[in-house]
Amino acid sequence: MELVSPQLEKPNHKRLKKINLFKRIVMILFGAILVAVGLEIFLVPNQIMDGGIVGISMLLSYLTGFKLGVLLFVLNLPFFFLGYKQIGKTFALSTLFGVIVMSVSTYYLHSVPPLTEDPLLAAVFGGIVIGIGVGLVIRYGGSLDGTEILAILFNKKTSFSVGQIVLFFNLFILGSAGFLFGWERAMYSFIAYFIVFKLLDVVIEGFDETKLVWIMSEEPEKLGSCILSSLGRGVTYLSGEGGYTGEYKKVIFCVVTRLEEAKLKEIVEEIDPQAFLAVGNIHEVRGGHFKKRAVH
DSSP-based three-state secondary structure for 102 = helix
| Cα 80 from chain centre | 19
Per DSSP, what are the bridge partners of residue 249?
240
Query: Dihedral (C-alpha) 17, 22, 23, 29: value to the nearest 10 degrees?
Result: 150
Contact of 230 with 267, CB cutoff 8 Å: yes
What is the rounded average pLDDT of the residues 14-22?
80
Q: Inform me whether the pLDDT recorded for 3 exceeds 60.
A: no
Q: For 197-225, how does the pLDDT look when each residue is reduced to its tens digit (9 = 90+)? A: 888 777 876 655 678 899 988 888 899 89
Euclidean distance between CA atoms 256 and 253, whole angstroms: 10
Per DSSP, what are the bridge partners of residue 255?
212
Domains of the chain as residue ranges with CATH: 9-205 (no CATH), 210-282 (3.30.70.120)
The stretches of the chain forming alpha helices (DSSP H) are 5-37, 52-64, 68-86, 89-109, 119-139, 147-155, 162-181, 183-205, 220-231, 258-271
What is the rounded average pLDDT of the residues 49-63?
87
Contact of 276 with 217, CB cutoff 8 Å: yes
pLDDT category of residue 4 using cuts at 50, 70 and 90: very low
Contact of 24 with 98, CB cutoff 8 Å: no
pTM of the model: 0.71
Q: Inform me whether the pLDDT recorded for 133 exceeds 80.
A: yes
Question: What is the reported pLDDT for 119?
Answer: 92
